[in-house]
Structure 1
Amino acid sequence: MALKITDECICCDVCVLECPNEAIALGEEIYEIDPQRCTECVGHYETSQCVEVCPVDCIISDPDRPEDRDTLYQRYLRLEQE
């Protein structure tokens, strides 16, 4: 699944620096994750780095975007070619 940031986000921007795919950007009120760029760090790390550093635990799996590890890895490969 791609990840998403809930409205509990405090806009500390720590997650932005950790994302290897540059999938996180400031939205109108809080940071948002571009699901077309999010691989949950598959291909880069064993765990999702944004989740690891978030001080308020506001980054969750997006239930509206179920994806398996292979799908995330294929996205990683596509992003690496860009």
Structure 2
Amino acid sequence: MAIMITDDCINCGACEPECPNNAIYEGGVEWAISDGTSITDDYTLEDGSTVDASDKQNPVSDEFYYIVPDKCTECVGFHEEPQCAAVCPVDCCVPDPEREEDEAVLLGRKERLHL
């Protein structure tokens, strides 16, 4: 499953530089699939829509740091545990119950994001 940041976030920013997929953004900041990945062309999101990798997308949250689920691999293939959760001082980086994914799905996403 992807990791999510709860509203307990204190906006410290400790998580953002730890993400190997550049999936974490400050609240209110637009995101793109191409940020921190090797994707340069169209990319199909999990909802089935296709976006140009460099097109800016609406923020997931305007108030708190957030994780883009389409870019989160729970650090599978990079680290033993999600690095955002490891460094979070208030333990607000938690598994998203709406996005249960097995290791094969997460590894597949890592391979698509980092060609």
Q: Higher helix proportion, which one? A: 1
Alignment TM-score, normalising by the size of structure 1? 0.96
Match of 1:80 in 2: 114
Q: CA deviation at 1:79?
A: 0.7
Structure with greater Cα Rg:
2
2:74 is matched by which residue type in structure 1? E
List runs of 5+ in structure 1 lacking aligned partners: none
Aligned match of 1:69 in 90, 100, 103? 103
Instruction: Provide the secondary structure at the position in 2 that maps to 1:55.
Output: coil
Instruction: Give the root-mean-square deviation of aligned CA atoms.
Output: 0.5
Alignment TM-score, normalising by the size of structure 2? 0.69
- Trace 1:2-17 onto structure 2 (pairs within 5 A): 2-17=2-17
Match of 1:32 in 2: 66
Q: Give the whole-Å Cα distance in 2 for the aligned partners of 1:12 and 1:71.
A: 30
Q: CA deviation at 1:26?
A: 1.4
Deviations 1:18-46 (A, max 9, x none): 00100000121100100000000001111
> Is residue 81 of structure 2 the alignment partner of residue 47 of structure 1?
yes
List runs of 5+ in structure 2 lacking aligned partners: 28-61
